[in-house]
Amino acid sequence: MLLEQKKELQPMYSTKHLIDTALQEDIGSGDITTDNLVDEALVGSGIIVAKEPLVIAGLDIARKVFRRLDANIEFKSDYNDGDDIKIGATVLAMHGRLRPLLTGERTALNFLQHLSGIATTVRSYTKQIEHTNVRLVDTRKTTPCWRVLEKYAVRVGGAHNHRMGLYDGVLIKDNHIAACGGIAKAIHVVRKLISHLLKIEVEVVDIKGAEEAIANGADVIMLDNMDTDQTRQAVKVINGRAIVEVSGNVTQNNLAALADTGVDVISVGALTHSAGSVDLSMRISQEK
């Protein structure tokens, strides 16, 4: 049954599937405006322009959107994902039939604006801790069905990924501990059942929890919603016996201070769930 469930989930990790779904959502039975106003053979150009400074992410996805509508559209860009873009710059130029350019405009921009928004947000975080060796990571707080793309944008922005899903890492959280009957029991049970190659991470809310997790062989300790002083104290208690991760209530205001406590990893849900879209626009011109 589990293998069958995994097979059913795989299509959600296909960008083609996601693009096709997005186009179907927007186009439906047809683009009644474009199809009635623009001759099918009419050719022209389009450019996507940055209306604010940003970190670009999703250029290939934008190209794929248009190519799903017309495989013959040609593209040109002086930029790659991860580049800093200045206001007024043309991030992507295209040439081909105007119908698919007009029909695909909004879907392509939706992908590009959202992913670039995440990359831009992430870059602003990473700059604050670039003087440290702390690894900034995302969480599973992502838009349903967009996780692969959003976590890609996190990497483009200069940070790293935490778990991709429930299937690729053990993270014993507060509700697991409550359901299982304690930290020690939860660690011992899961250790017997998983591969020896997997690490076990345990979420704790206080120093006592950290001590119990360490005593029972946790590989990673997640300090949940601890302030800077508590975090510094926990790092001393753990004393290098496990990887230390900070999570919960991390903002750009306290990020640098938390990084300076000696932790190894800081996870921030806001990298994906609170990143706004950047301002990009597309301009179309008919070939003369």
Catalytic annotation present for 173: yes
Q: Are 239 and 233 in contact (CB under 8 A)?
A: no
Residue 136 three-state SS:
strand
Per annotation, catalytic residue among 31, 150, 224, 245: 224
Q: Which amino acid is at 128?
A: Q
- The CA distance from 259 to 262, in Å, is 6
Catalytic annotation present for 141: yes
* 95 contact partners, CB below 8 Å, separation of at least 6: 43, 44, 45, 46, 73, 74
Per annotation, catalytic residue among 105, 138, 150, 203: 203
Per annotation, catalytic residue among 173, 191, 232, 241: 173
* 36 contact partners, CB below 8 Å, separation of at least 6: none
- The CA distance from 126 to 212, in Å, is 32
Per annotation, catalytic residue among 64, 140, 141, 163: 141
Catalytic annotation present for 199: no
Task: List C-alpha distances in Å: 193 to 76, 202, 203.
Answer: 51, 16, 19
Per annotation, catalytic residue among 63, 64, 67, 106: 106
Q: Which amino acid is at 51?
A: K
Start-end of H helices in the chain = 2-9, 15-27, 32-37, 59-69, 98-126, 147-157, 174-180, 183-193, 207-215, 228-238, 255-259, 270-273
Catalytic annotation present for 191: no
Catalytic annotation present for 97: no
Task: List C-alpha distances in Å: 263 to 92, 158, 163, 259.
Answer: 40, 18, 18, 6
Tell me which residue of 177, 146, 191 sits closest to 164, measured CA to CA.
Answer: 146
Task: List C-alpha distances in Å: 44 to 93, 144, 288.
Answer: 11, 35, 8
State the catalytic residues: 106, 141, 173, 203, 224
